[in-house]
């Protein structure tokens, strides 16, 4: 019988390609646990189809046992041994699955569940991971191909028009803008009872320092997403006890960065057509280029592609004089105004936080600066042509809110300058940034240095 052995950073994988498939892993440290997590996810995503759908999972767990009985191997089984913090104690997990014909989403749930069980030693909070997995699986299970939904669901004429437009948006993004071809947004979640997605972020009160959370593959993220408002509120209360500024907002869309097949949701279909185009191009940008731990770079690039790409799409598809084209043009103008204002606001706040004064004085100074810029914003918004930023001035002083907004909008003019250097071609810019993103350090600072060069 052939046995394939793969060893990487102390991680050993045995694959026995027989009728009764078996995988055995032994993990001896934190680094190996992390590598194991990546390896098992890669194995599941690559080989799950060849093993067949998984629909029944049974879990047996023996804590602090030196020996356990042999696991029953059916069509596919997974045996995992994890060394506990106390070397004398071993814990063993057996996951048994049977193979029957079930939807693809059920297989993915099995893969995600196995992945999360393996994250016990990686530092992630399992309760949160399962919450996200549950929400994602609900989307996958409830989604159907757009073509099928158009024939079976009672959509309004306006909803049908927007759903039929989705394929055009994707094709434009891939063919004209150079976005990666994926299976995202080829399905729709046609149910109206889906909760919005809530995003929680937190920051120190006396400086711009967003709290981050580490996850496999994507690295550190400056926010947490929730499918349930009550769960988001619980996280907010927990963060408030740490003395942080906390912000809970609503997200317009949810992306798995191309790992799974993201569906179109009804909140996008029921919104405006320009917002639909902007959001899809924004999220498809994340699936094309996403750099771990570089939140301002990732979101700033996606905002640029979403806004400029939307204008180009409407101009080509509907003509330069169409109302949709005018709205996209106005959204671009407002983005430039707001980005310039926000950058000045953030710069002055950074100056305040860099002062060598005590905590109470910094908090008093930030309150003064917030009040000054609130008045400036009230004057600025009179020149807006759209309503996308009109609610900005309604928040009290809150670094988490300000930094979350800045993550998306502070560097718009910087990315426009990069776009101009690349002949106003989003395709050329993405190709350039793909190589540029391999550099170490803060990519925003490097871009600022780049555009300042003659």
- Which residues 6+ apart lie within 8 Å of 386 measured at CB? 327, 330, 331, 334
Maximal C-alpha separation, the chain: 76
What is the residue range of 61's domain? 4-123
- Quick one: pLDDT at residue 164? 95
Report the alpha-carbon angle 37-43-49, nearest 5. 140
DSSP letters, 165-192, are HHHHHHHHHHHTS-PPP-STTSEEE--T
Q: Is residue 130 part of a domain?
A: no
Q: Does 260 share its domain with 360? A: yes
- The C-alpha atoms of residue 315 and residue 180 are separated, in whole angstroms, by 22
Q: Identify whether residues 115 and 182 lie together within a single domain.
A: no
Q: Name the token pair of 445.
A: 């600072």
Task: Verify that 252 and 183 share a domain, yes or no.
Answer: yes
The reply to whether 192 and 101 lie within a common domain is no
Pair 282, 406 in one domain: yes
Render the burial of 17-38: b for 16+ CB within 10 Å, e for the rest. Answer: eeeebebebbbeeeebbbbbbe
Whether residue 286 is contained in a domain is answered as yes
Provide the pLDDT for residue 12: 33
The pLDDT profile of the chain, 454 residues, written as one tens digit per residue, is: 223 323 333 333 333 333 333 333 333 444 444 444 444 444 444 444 333 333 332 233 233 333 333 333 233 333 333 322 333 333 333 333 333 334 444 445 544 544 444 444 344 455 565 556 666 667 767 789 999 999 988 899 999 999 999 999 999 999 999 999 998 999 998 876 566 778 899 999 999 998 888 766 566 777 888 878 888 899 999 999 999 999 998 876 666 665 667 889 888 899 999 999 999 999 999 999 999 889 899 999 999 999 999 999 999 999 999 999 999 999 999 999 999 999 999 999 999 999 999 999 999 999 999 999 999 999 999 999 999 998 897 878 899 999 989 999 999 999 999 999 999 999 999 999 999 999 889 999 999 999 987 7
pTM of the model as a whole: 0.72
Alpha-carbon dihedral 382, 388, 389, 391, rounded to 10 degrees: 100
Q: Confirm whether 287 is domain-assigned.
A: yes
Please tell me whether residues 237 and 179 are part of one structural domain. yes
Q: Which two tokens stand for residue 443?
A: 């990519």
Nearest to 158 by CA among 250, 82, 268, 257: 268
160 lies in a domain? Answer: no
112 and 177 belong to one structural domain: no
Residue where one domain finishes, among candidates 123, 139, 154? 123
User: Do 87 and 229 share a domain, yes or no?
Assistant: no
Task: Using the 3D structure, point to which of 94, 123, 152 is the last residue of a domain.
Answer: 123
Number of domains comprising the chain:
2
Question: Are 447 and 367 part of one and the same domain?
Answer: yes
pLDDT at 222: 79
Q: Is residue 262 assigned to a domain?
A: yes
**For residue 346, which of 201, 199, 200, 203 has the smallest C-alpha distance?**
203
Let me know if residue 219 belongs to a domain: yes
> pLDDT by residue (tens digit) across 345-404?
999 999 999 999 999 999 999 999 999 999 999 999 999 999 999 889 787 889 999 998
Same domain, 316 and 391: yes
Q: What is the pLDDT of residue 216?
A: 63
The packing angle between helices 323-353 and 399-409, to 10°, is 130
Q: What is the pLDDT of residue 7?
A: 31
Please check whether residues 116 and 233 belong to one and the same domain: no
Q: Is 139 domain-assigned? A: no
Of 123, 158, 176, which one is at a domain's C-terminal end?
123
Q: Does residue 136 belong to any structural domain of this protein?
A: no
Q: Clarify whether residues 89 and 199 are in a common domain.
A: no
């Amino acid at each position: 019988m052939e046995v394939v052995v793969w060893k990487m950073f102390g991680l050993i994988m045995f694959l026995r390609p027989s009728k009764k498939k078996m995988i055995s892993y032994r993990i001896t440290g934190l680094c190996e646990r992390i590598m194991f997590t990546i390896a098992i996810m890669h194995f599941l995503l690559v080989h799950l189809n060849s093993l067949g759908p998984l629909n029944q999972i049974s879990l047996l767990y023996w804590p602090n046992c030196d020996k356990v009985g042999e696991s029953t191997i059916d069509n596919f089984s997974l045996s995992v041994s994890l060394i506990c913090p106390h070397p004398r104690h071993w814990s063993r997990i057996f996951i048994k699955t049977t193979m029957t014909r079930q939807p693809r989403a059920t297989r993915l749930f099995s893969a995600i569940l196995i992945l999360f069980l393996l994250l016990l030693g990686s530092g992630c909070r399992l309760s949160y991971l399962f919450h996200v997995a549950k929400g994602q699986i609900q989307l996958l299970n409830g989604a159907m191909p757009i073509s099928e939904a158009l024939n079976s669901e009672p959509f309004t004429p306006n909803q049908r028009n927007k759903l039929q437009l989705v394929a055009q948006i994707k094709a434009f993004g891939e063919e004209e803008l150079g976005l990666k071809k994926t299976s995202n947004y080829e399905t729709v979640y046609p149910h109206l009872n889906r909760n919005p997605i809530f995003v929680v972020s937190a920051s120190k009160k006396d400086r711009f320092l967003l709290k981050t959370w580490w996850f496999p593959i994507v690295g550190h993220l400056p926010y947490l997403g929730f499918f349930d408002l009550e769960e988001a509120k619980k996280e907010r209360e927990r963060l408030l006890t740490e003395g942080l500024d906390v912000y809970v907002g609503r997200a317009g869309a949810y992306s798995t960065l191309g790992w799974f097949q993201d569906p179109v949701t009804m909140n996008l279909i029921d919104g405006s057509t320009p917002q639909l185009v902007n959001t899809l191009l924004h999220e498809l940008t994340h699936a094309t280029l996403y750099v771990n731990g570089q939140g301002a770079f990732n979101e700033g690039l996606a905002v640029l592609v979403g806004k400029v790409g939307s204008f180009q799409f409407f101009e080509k598809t509907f003509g330069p004089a169409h109302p949709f084209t005018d709205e996209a043009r106005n959204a671009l103008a407002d983005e430039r105004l707001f980005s310039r204002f926000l950058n000045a606001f953030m710069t002055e706040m950074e100056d305040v936080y860099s002062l060598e004064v005590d905590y109470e004085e910094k908090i008093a100074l930030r309150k003064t600066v917030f009040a000054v810029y609130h008045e400036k914003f009230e004057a600025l918004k009179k020149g807006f042509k759209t309503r996308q930023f009109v609610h900005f001035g309604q928040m009290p002083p809150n670094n988490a809110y300000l930094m979350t907004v800045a993550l998306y909008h502070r560097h718009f003019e910087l990315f426009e300058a990069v776009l101009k250097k690349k002949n106003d071609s989003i395709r050329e810019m993405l190709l350039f940034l793909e190589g540029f993103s391999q550099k170490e350090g803060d990519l925003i600072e490097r871009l600022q240095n780049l555009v300042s060069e003659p």
